[in-house]
Amino acid sequence: MSQTRHVPVMLQRCLDLLAPALEAPGPQAPVVVDCTLGLGGHSEALLSAFPSVRLIALDRDKEALRLSGERLAPYGDRATLVHAVYDELPEVLDRLGTPKVQGVLFDLGVSSMQLDEADRGFAYAQDAPLDMRMDQTTGIGAAEVLNTYPPGELVRILRAYGEEKQAKRIVSAIVREREKEPFSNSARLVELIRDSLPQAAKRTGGNPAKRTFQALRIEVNGELTVLERAIPAAVRSLAVGGRIAVLSYHSLEDRLVKQVFAAGAATTAPPGLPVVPERYQPRLKLLTRGAELPTEEEVAENRRAAPARLRGAQRIREEER
Ligand SMILES: C[S@@+](CC[C@H](N)C(=O)[O-])C[C@H]1O[C@@H](n2cnc3c(N)ncnc32)[C@H](O)[C@@H]1O
């Protein structure tokens, strides 16, 4: 396993954001949920930095759970690892008898392990079967999306999830090619995208296949749909005083997090009330001004941190509305 796999992004800042909620004295051990366990980098740091916390960690990838299980074994029953999609958080917490928690962390996107394992098909730099499922036990892979979706649907996905301006051009080429032979591997798709784009489009933004791969990955894993349910659910699961930190890696994720936090931090009172009743008061306080970025030093040491955007919020009031 290479060293680069293990560098958790914006780690100290995540710990600092959550610390006041995990260090506060109380009758019971504080509970922190890592909704995206991955290789357990953030989880291990949470267990080690806050010796009284109990960790509940979720991942939809069984291989990630297996590897992290070994890594976190020294922490014994302080860590509970669960195979779940993170929008199942309320059910998982109910099952474990901890409906309210003091901290929640999301480190979104693909893990370095998923990217490094060529046969999972996430990376456009290596030829591999077009799979891209984070949970390989369920759902359809990227090849099936490419081979079976109607052209209009593919264009919509490339535009919405990849912010790909050349979506129509790329999809026309895909449809032409899949009629000759269905797609199975990534190299053929990468080559096709490169060949179908005009020179000018190829000069900007790195590998021309990057946006299409991102779009397929988001579609295959239903990432935004799940996130749209998961962030509000996570906010609802916070006890008063509890804190949430979310690391996003593209603007679609970050926009969604920003909207949920902003809505929670705003009053919902009808305009013109002389005194705002309790039930209309904000239930969140923002802990970050806008999205925080990794330092240049961190990006120089860990290029996977480059696109990261971190937002944090604190629960300041019960849900009363
Ligand atoms: C960027 S990695 C987390 C890395 C981790 N923080 C570390 O330090 O090792 C994201 C992980 O979240 C998982 N994941 C992504 N979407 C998920 C979802 N909807 N539900 C559960 N896990 C998910 C992926 O399988 C992946 O292992």
Q: What is the pLDDT of residues 102-125, one digit of tens each?
A: 999 999 988 888 877 777 888 888
Residue bearing the CA closest to ligand 1, atom 2: 111
Superfamily of domain 117-221: Putative methyltransferase TM0872, insert domain (1.10.150.170)
305's tokens: 């941190």
* Top-confidence residue, 148 or 135: 148
Distance 36 CA to ligand 1 centre (A): 4
- Give the full edge-to-edge strand order of the sheet including 309-315: 79-83, 54-59, 31-34, 101-107, 238-248, 309-315, 284-286
* pLDDT for 207 beyond 90: no
- Please identify, by atom number, the ligand 1 atom nearest to the C-alpha of residue 249: 1
pLDDT of residue 3: 37
Q: CA-to-CA distance for 158 and 212, rounded, in angstroms?
A: 6
The reply to whether ligand 1 has any atom less than 6 angstroms from the CB of 39 is yes
* pLDDT for 47 beyond 70: yes
Q: Which among 307, 304, 310 is positioned nearest to 112, based on CA atoms?
A: 304
- Are 20 and 318 contacting, i.e. CB atoms less than 8 angstroms apart? no
pLDDT of residue 1: 36
Q: What is the CA radius of gyration of the chain?
A: 21
Q: CA-to-CA distance for 39 and 65, rounded, in angstroms?
A: 8
Distance 293 CA to ligand 1 centre (A): 19
pLDDT of residue 319: 77
Residue bearing the CA closest to ligand 1, atom 9: 39
Average pLDDT over residues 190-215: 85
Provide the sign of the torsion angle of the four alpha carbons 69, 70, 72, 76, taken in this order: positive
The reply to whether ligand 1 has any atom less than 6 angstroms from the CB of 43 is no
**Which ranges constitute the DSSP H helices of 181-209?**
186-196, 199-202
Average pLDDT over residues 218-244: 96
Average pLDDT over residues 304-321: 90
* pLDDT for 155 beyond 80: yes
In terms of phi and psi (left: phi > 0; alpha: psi -120 to 50; beta: otherwise), the region of 16 is: alpha
* pLDDT for 203 beyond 80: no
Q: Which of 37, 43, 47, 117 to mutate to test the pocket of ligand 1 (most atoms within 8 A of CB)?
A: 37
Q: What is the pLDDT of residues 48-98, one digit of tens each?
A: 999 999 999 999 999 999 999 999 999 999 999 999 999 999 999 999 999
The reply to whether ligand 1 has any atom less than 6 angstroms from the CB of 60 is yes
Q: Specify the residue for token string 């799940």.
A: 226
Distance 112 CA to ligand 1 centre (A): 10
- Are 312 and 288 contacting, i.e. CB atoms less than 8 angstroms apart? yes
**Which CATH code, of 3.40.50.300, 2.40.50.140, 3.40.50.150, 3.20.20.70, is assigned to 11-113+223-315?**
3.40.50.150
* pLDDT for 200 beyond 80: no
pLDDT of residue 60: 93
- As a whole number, the mean pLDDT across the chain is 92
In terms of phi and psi (left: phi > 0; alpha: psi -120 to 50; beta: otherwise), the region of 21 is: alpha
The reply to whether ligand 1 has any atom less than 6 angstroms from the CB of 122 is no
Question: What are the residue boundaries of the structural domains of the chain, listed by start?
Answer: 11-113+223-315, 117-221
Q: CA-to-CA distance for 145 and 220, rounded, in angstroms?
A: 8
Distance 69 CA to ligand 1 centre (A): 14
Q: Give the dihedral of Cα atoms 70, 20, 250, 151; nearest 10 deg.
A: 70
Q: CA-to-CA distance for 253 and 108, rounded, in angstroms?
A: 8
The reply to whether ligand 1 has any atom less than 6 angstroms from the CB of 36 is yes
Distance 134 CA to ligand 1 centre (A): 9
Q: What is the pLDDT of residues 276-300, one digit of tens each?
A: 888 889 999 999 999 999 999 999 9
pLDDT range class, residue 174, cuts 50, 70, 90: very high
pLDDT of residue 5: 53
